[in-house]
Amino acid sequence: MPIRTEPVTVNIGPQHPSTHGVFRLRVTFDGEVVQDLEPVFGYLHRGSEKLAEERTYSQVVTLTDRLDYVASMSNNLAYVRSVEKLAGVRPPDRAMYLRVISAELQRIASHLVATGFLLQDLGAFGTPLMYCFRERERILDLFEMLCGARVTFSYMRVGGVFQDAPGEFWIALDKFLGDMPHYIDEYEQLLSGNEILLTRTKDVGVLTSETAMDCSITGPVLRASGVDWDLRKVDPYEIYDRIDFDVPLGTVGDNYDRYLMRIEEMRQSLRIVSECVKQISSGPVKADVPWLVRPPVGDAYDHVEGPKGELGFYLVSDGGIAPYRCKIRSPSLINLTAVKDMLVGGKLSDMIVTMGSIDINMGEVDR
Amino acid sequence: MGPITSANSFYSNLYTAFVDFHIVGVSPIPEWLAYFLAGFIVIFTVINAVVIITTLGTWVERRVLGRFHARLGPNRWGPWGLFTPIADAIKLLTKEDTRPDGIDPWVFNMAPIIFIVPAIMVFAVIPFGENTYVANLNIGLLFIIAVTTVGTIAIFMAGWASGNRFSLFGAMRAVAMLISYEVPMVLSVVGVVLMTGSLSLVDIVEAQDVPFIVVQPLGFLIFFAAASAEMSRSPFDIVEAESEIVAGYHTEYSGMKWGTFQLAEFIAPFGVSAILATLFLKGWDGPLLPSHLWFFLKVCFFWFLMLWIRATIPRLRIDQIMAFAWKVLFPLSIVNVFLTAIEVLVWPNPTTTEWWTMAAINWAVAILSIVIFSRIGKDKMSTRRPIFSSRGSNSSALKGAN
Amino acid sequence: MYGLGIMGGFLITLKNLFRTPFTIQYPEEDVPRASRFRGEEFVWYEQRCTGCASCAKYCPLGIIKIETSLGGTDMQEGQSYSVDVFDIDLGRCMFCGLCVEACPYDALHMGSGFERGQYNRDSLVIPIEELKLADKRPSTWFRPQLEDKKYHPQGGDPLSWDEVGR
Amino acid sequence: MTVSLTGEDVQARVVGAIQGSIESWNGSDVWVPSGFLHEVCKFAKEDPELGMDFLVAISAVDYIEYFELVYHMQSIVHNHKMIVKTKCWGRENPTIASVVDVWRGADLQEREIYDLMGITFTDHPNLKRILLWEGFPGHPHRKDYLEPPR
């Protein structure tokens, strides 16, 4: 007599300790195994794209901080670059170096958050999270010296950055660049060899490179599946072509690979920043672009390799002081298309860990 | 085999004090009342000692965990935050005790009681010092193992009665895990019993010329793993895995009901450390210091070990936990029992040198078995390094293994 | 081998057990802030302000309420309006600093504190009197001239209106 | 550098295969009549020369008389990119063929455009609102939402 079982539908709801923001998964379980799931989002939808049509080009910068609130430097960079492409402005060299330094520091901070919360989902009670946040605080102090804020920076302006870095910034940056590799080795020693982490993440949430490309996944998740696509190498913007660094790739495309990607990318970002600090030359920090910039009629799309993936802005200008249309290509939203392939068939605990390893940010998904 | 309440224990002094206490002109209190009063005072002191040490234990746990996280931990209430447990208790007592409407009231209210009672009953048979114990049952160890299984029912009652799906998940996981870890826990203790020849904890402590942790390494490791699974502490804390099923079986509880669950969950490590100290580290027996202090130091050592594990390693998945129990711990404990049985036959009442030979054999077998089992799980445990893309900015080779 | 990776992890946590905690006890110890920290209470120099209201225009949220009236009867060139109402609604402000960036006469500066919490919303609005009376410790955000003077709002003494110009 | 294909070479490749599929082009943008969109996209993906295997983004712009859909696509193998634009006429119920069967990445982006701009995509697997709740009146990203078009 077969045991009569029935699937149970559970709301891994908007209010749940490990959904990384207000994100809901309506999951039908057969016992612990995920049978079917349907992501539901929109809880953090603030209508940024509609708001952008009401603000001048320079005011929209404050809007872009709040998209991916963990990596607001690279949001600024993506937006400002597409306005410069629209207006045909080229920022001076020193501004580009400052932008790359802050974008790479922001990538380290975002990867620290991603790794810390991945371990929190795995159950390591807070220890890796606290170590990652201890290092992230040092980066936030650097940003506080640079632009006065700790999370929503609005540091970049059309044509460059608003102000040069103070003297104490460079001293603190050198000290940070000296200590950080040692801390990353500590994370590796604490985590990469940990047998329990290995059994929990290896061959879990596997994403083949074909599905990844088909679902237009970008960022560490795509590279973990072995697809060699990093905008900083493939389509070098700002001054990335003057800096040599490596792009880590995964082999299997499971959670462990995605974790390794982020740890390795942190090391590479450190390399980039230390190289930028060597190459930076003095000079103006902002091209003379009027505050009320009026780009010519037309449209432009520019993208940047953010910590979560390819963040792009498609701007349409009708010659006025405000963008006619500002479409945001958000990597976290599109990285969720393949969430069903990765999760169906796995267990409840695998689902939580895989969601953590995809590293979505609800501010960017719902805009 | 001492009598149940041996002559010079704390209890019998009390009893005699009550019997011959009488005010002139008033008839002495009846014999049964003295018996009851003495017993009540002993049990009252032990329970309060256990609960107070556990509340201090919560403070120690939060401070030490804080230090592991390179932060301070609670230090607001009283010097170094020592009054935090009291503040917690007051908060929990005054908190509203919500009862969602989807619950089964009787089962919902009974669950915390049934969960905390066995946790405290474990202390009935543990010798705290030279001759201080509540009762010296000659089946002490059997009593402990029997009592700890009752906790599983309480967890299932709480999970099922809360009526919310996360608690049901927690309850199902708890039943599956706790029952399947009873077997290795019992078998690993059989080795100790074989060596001492008696189940009573007092005799086990006396029989240990060389502490059993040295003689029985495999037994110790299995018991430690199984016991930390029994009290669902890391890395087996899937019963109330806060990142997966919110808070498992006690999601719907609040106020003092939740407090009772939490208290029981913190009494469990104190109890297990006490059992570990008695079984494997010669309990209260120690060279210079008074016996109570030795017992307390050994308990603190094991408690710190559990804290350290909780701070470092992540959680296992439910099927890995079950596989670990049945495929690793269970065979190893059978090997341990088989080996100890042969040793006991060869050296019925061993001298110290024979203890050390047994220790050497057991250590060899322990290391051998760990190597064999890690050989089996080798492919799952091998680490990987990322490969680096050779792509310059213009070459467009699609690198990727598959 | 089972456990060797985990052993490495145990050493790390043990090492961190003996490291000094990096957290600070906030109410007792003061939070060290950078000189460019975009603080809450704005610093406004009445003598420098000409009532041009470009700060109100540049603010993305439009939360600066400014009402000016003619100074004297005959307004010569270069004379400033008299500002009657100048209140900043901190309840809706996001401290982006665009108003400070837009002020052509360096009259408005960011403050350097963050402890101005209130119990109701309308007491979050900084009226003009409070702006006049508050002691002026401007943050060096978008004010390079203050930075060249190595001025730090947390330790420094208040600056009068003439020392702040570009 | 990711080469962005100009209109000529795209037109040379595509018109050769599908007659009358390119309306016009200027610079790197190629306009395609909405009827031919699905065909052009499928051809762009399967053609070994173009090999557009990665859909970067779909954007919708409301130009009051018509809606313009902009498809950014790129090829990871050849490292070049292409922009295809198409116009949807009509304000009540603009419809266009969905490209989900060509690239699965278009799934959520098309649902978002349906949700916020009101363009329905035919034979999309589950065309429902993605960011707003089901009963939401109107489509906010349209220019005439809540206030008269400028």
Q: Do D140 and A229 touch (CB under 8 A)?
A: no
Quote the CA–CA distance of B305 and B298 in Å, as a whole number.
Answer: 11
Q: What is the pLDDT of residue B401?
A: 32
Q: Do A301 and D72 touch (CB under 8 A)?
A: yes
What is the residue type of C7? M
Q: What is the pLDDT of residue B23?
A: 64
Quote the CA–CA distance of B153 and B175 in Å, as a whole number.
Answer: 8
C110 lies in which domain range? 35-71+80-164
pLDDT digits (tens, 9 = 90+) for C108-119: 999 888 888 889
Quote the CA–CA distance of C117 and A209 in Å, as a whole number.
Answer: 51
Is pLDDT above 60 for B396? no
Quote the CA–CA distance of B341 and B357 in Å, as a whole number.
Answer: 15
Q: What is the pLDDT of residue B397?
A: 39
Quote the CA–CA distance of B34 and B28 in Å, as a whole number.
Answer: 10
pLDDT digits (tens, 9 = 90+) for B103-116: 889 999 999 999 99
Task: Judge if A37 and A115 occupy the same domain.
Answer: no
Q: What is the pLDDT of residue B263?
A: 93
Q: What is the pLDDT along chain A (367 residues), one digit of tens a residue?
A: 788 888 999 988 888 888 888 889 999 998 889 999 999 988 999 989 999 998 999 999 999 999 999 999 999 999 999 999 999 999 999 999 999 999 999 999 999 999 999 999 988 878 899 999 999 999 999 999 999 899 999 999 999 998 899 999 999 999 999 999 999 999 998 898 888 899 899 999 999 999 999 999 999 999 999 999 999 999 898 899 999 999 999 999 999 999 999 999 999 999 999 999 999 999 999 998 888 899 999 999 999 999 999 999 999 999 999 999 999 999 999 999 999 989 999 999 999 999 999 999 999 999 8
- Residue B26 zone, left/alpha/beta (φ > 0; ψ -120 to 50; rest): beta
A135 lies in which domain range? 48-358
Q: Do A249 and B383 touch (CB under 8 A)?
A: no
Q: What is the pLDDT of residue D135?
A: 85
Is pLDDT above 70 for B149? yes
Shortest CA distance to B229 belongs to which of B241, B237, B221?
B237
Query: How close B128 comes to chain C (CA, Å)?
Result: 30
For residue C46, being part of any structural domain is answered with yes
For residue C7, being part of any structural domain is answered with no
What is the residue type of C111? G
Copy the structure tokens of residue B313: 């390693």
Quote the CA–CA distance of D92 and D71 in Å, as a whole number.
Answer: 22
Shortest CA distance to D119 belongs to which of D101, D139, D137, D149?
D139
Quote the CA–CA distance of A100 and D99 in Å, as a whole number.
Answer: 36
For residue C119, being part of any structural domain is answered with yes
Assign C75 a pLDDT band (cuts: 50, 70, 90).
low
pLDDT digits (tens, 9 = 90+) for B338-384: 999 999 999 888 888 888 999 999 999 999 988 888 888 777 778 88
Under 8 Å between Cβ of B337 and B362: no
3-state secondary structure of A45: coil
Residue of A nearest to C36 (CA): A148
The strand pairing partners of A227, in sequence order, are none
For residue D55, being part of any structural domain is answered with yes
The strand pairing partners of D86, in sequence order, are D69
Q: What is the CATH number of the domain that holds C123?
A: 3.30.70.3270
For residue C48, being part of any structural domain is answered with yes
pLDDT digits (tens, 9 = 90+) for B157-192: 999 998 888 888 889 999 999 999 999 999 999 999
Q: What is the pLDDT of residue B187?
A: 93
Q: Do C13 and B66 touch (CB under 8 A)?
A: no
Under 8 Å between Cβ of D76 and D83: no
What is the residue type of D47? D
Matching residue, tokens 């640079």: A146
pLDDT digits (tens, 9 = 90+) for B224-276: 999 999 988 888 888 887 888 888 888 889 889 999 999 999 999 999 999 99
Under 8 Å between Cβ of B123 and B46: yes
The strand pairing partners of A298, in sequence order, are A317
Quote the CA–CA distance of A178 and A270 in Å, as a whole number.
Answer: 10
Quote the CA–CA distance of D42 and D14 in Å, as a whole number.
Answer: 11
Copy the structure tokens of residue D40: 């052009």
pLDDT digits (tens, 9 = 90+) for A184-206: 999 998 898 888 899 899 999 99
Quote the CA–CA distance of B279 and B276 in Å, as a whole number.
Answer: 5
Mean pLDDT of D98-124: 92
Q: Do B68 and C5 touch (CB under 8 A)?
A: no
Under 8 Å between Cβ of B359 and B212: no
Q: How many CB pairs under 8 A join A and D?
A: 85
DSSP H or E segment with residue B344: helix B330-346
Mean pLDDT of B1-17: 60
Determine phi and psi for B272, rounding to 5 degrees.
Answer: -65, -40
CB atoms within 10 A of CB B197: 12
Q: What is the pLDDT of residue A140?
A: 95
Mean pLDDT of B187-206: 90
For residue D27, being part of any structural domain is answered with yes
Q: What is the pLDDT of residue B292?
A: 87
Q: What is the pLDDT of residue B37?
A: 82
Assign B53 a pLDDT band (cuts: 50, 70, 90).
very high
The strand pairing partners of D25, in sequence order, are D30
D99 DSSP assignment: -
Pairing of strands D80-89, D29-31: parallel
Task: Judge if A256 and A180 occupy the same domain.
Answer: yes
Q: Quick one: how many helices (H) and strands (E) in chain A?
A: 15, 9
Task: Judge if A155 and A26 occupy the same domain.
Answer: no
The answer to whether residue C34 neighbours chain A at the CB level (below 8 Å) is: yes
| Length of chain C (residues) | 166
Task: Enumerate the residues of chain A whose CB falls inside 8 A of the CB of residue B242.
Answer: 17
Quote the CA–CA distance of D117 and D61 in Å, as a whole number.
Answer: 8
Quote the CA–CA distance of B277 and B123 in Å, as a whole number.
Answer: 13
Q: Do C34 and A141 touch (CB under 8 A)?
A: yes
Angle at A305 between CA A300 and CA A310, to 5 degrees: 65
Q: In whole numbers, what is the pLDDT of chain D averaged over residues?
A: 88
Mean pLDDT of B61-69: 91
Distances (CA, A) of B302 to B204, B274, B299, B306, B329: 19, 8, 5, 6, 20
3-state secondary structure of A260: helix
The burial of B274, by beta-carbon neighbours within 10 Å (0-12 exposed, 13-18 middle, 19 or more buried), is given as: buried
CB atoms within 10 A of CB C146: 24
Assign B9 a pLDDT band (cuts: 50, 70, 90).
low
Mean pLDDT of B127-155: 87
Residue of C nearest to B377 (CA): C2
Is pLDDT above 80 for C144? yes
Task: Enumerate the residues of chain A whose CB falls inside 8 A of the CB of residue D140.
Answer: 47, 50
For residue D52, being part of any structural domain is answered with yes
User: Based on the structure, what is the number of domains in chain A?
Assistant: 2
Task: Enumerate the residues of chain B whose CB falls inside 8 A of the CB of residue C12.
Answer: 312
Q: Do B396 and D1 touch (CB under 8 A)?
A: no
Quote the CA–CA distance of B197 and B344 in Å, as a whole number.
Answer: 10
Alpha helices in B239-290 (DSSP H): 255-280
Quote the CA–CA distance of B313 and B316 in Å, as a whole number.
Answer: 9
Angle at B58 between CA B97 and CA B308, to 5 degrees: 130
For residue C101, being part of any structural domain is answered with yes
For residue A152, being part of any structural domain is answered with yes
DSSP H or E segment with residue C44: strand C39-44
CB atoms within 10 A of CB A62: 22
Q: Which chains touch A (3 or more CB pairs under 8 A)?
A: B, C, D
CA A285 to chain centroid, in Å, comes to 25
3-state secondary structure of B170: helix
Task: Judge if A254 and A141 occupy the same domain.
Answer: yes
Task: Enumerate the residues of chain B whose CB falls inside 8 A of the CB of residue D76.
Answer: 396, 398
Q: What is the pLDDT of residue D73?
A: 92
The contacts found for D62-66 with CB under 8 angstroms, 24 or more apart, are D62/A325, D62/D117, D62/D141, D62/D142, D62/D143, D64/D143, D64/D144, D64/D149, D65/D89
Q: For residue D33, is the peptide bond before it cis, meaning its omega torsion is within 30 degrees of 0?
A: no
Matching residue, tokens 């973990």: A224
For residue A155, being part of any structural domain is answered with yes
What value of ipTM does the predicted structure carry?
0.90
Q: What is the CATH number of the domain that holds A226?
A: 1.10.645.10
Quote the CA–CA distance of A137 and C131 in Å, as a whole number.
Answer: 33
Asked if C touches D (at least 3 Cβ pairs < 8 angstroms), the answer reads: no
Of D42, D128, D131, which to mutate for an interface test with A (greatest number of A Cβ within 10 Å)? D131
For residue A365, being part of any structural domain is answered with no
Quote the CA–CA distance of B55 and B85 in Å, as a whole number.
Answer: 6
Shortest CA distance to A142 belongs to which of A103, A187, A113, A115?
A103
Quote the CA–CA distance of A81 and A87 in Å, as a whole number.
Answer: 10
Copy the structure tokens of residue B382: 């091998």
Q: Which residue has the higher pLDDT, B394 or A203?
A: A203
For residue A3, being part of any structural domain is answered with yes
For residue A367, being part of any structural domain is answered with no
User: Based on the structure, what is the number of domains in chain C?
Assistant: 1
For residue D149, being part of any structural domain is answered with no
Task: Judge if A66 and A209 occupy the same domain.
Answer: yes
For residue D120, being part of any structural domain is answered with no
Distances (CA, A) of A261 to A252, A269, A300, B385: 12, 12, 31, 9
For residue C57, being part of any structural domain is answered with yes
Assign C1 a pLDDT band (cuts: 50, 70, 90).
low
Q: What is the pLDDT of residue D133?
A: 87
b/e per residue C84-97 (b: at least 16 CB within 10 A): eebbbbbeebbbbb
For residue D63, being part of any structural domain is answered with yes
Q: What is the pLDDT of residue D147?
A: 61
Task: Judge if A2 and A55 occupy the same domain.
Answer: no
Residue of B nearest to A134 (CA): B70
What is the residue type of A73? M
Under 8 Å between Cβ of B148 and B232: no
D77 lies in which domain range? 3-93
User: Global pTM?
Assistant: 0.92
Under 8 Å between Cβ of C108 and C50: no
Is pLDDT above 50 for B399? no
Residue of C nearest to B306 (CA): C10
Quote the CA–CA distance of A127 and B297 in Å, as a whole number.
Answer: 26
Quote the CA–CA distance of A148 and C35 in Å, as a whole number.
Answer: 8
Under 8 Å between Cβ of A50 and A73: no
Assign D114 a pLDDT band (cuts: 50, 70, 90).
very high
| Length of chain B (residues) | 402
Matching residue, tokens 């990652």: A132
Q: What is the CATH number of the domain that holds D41?
A: 3.30.460.80
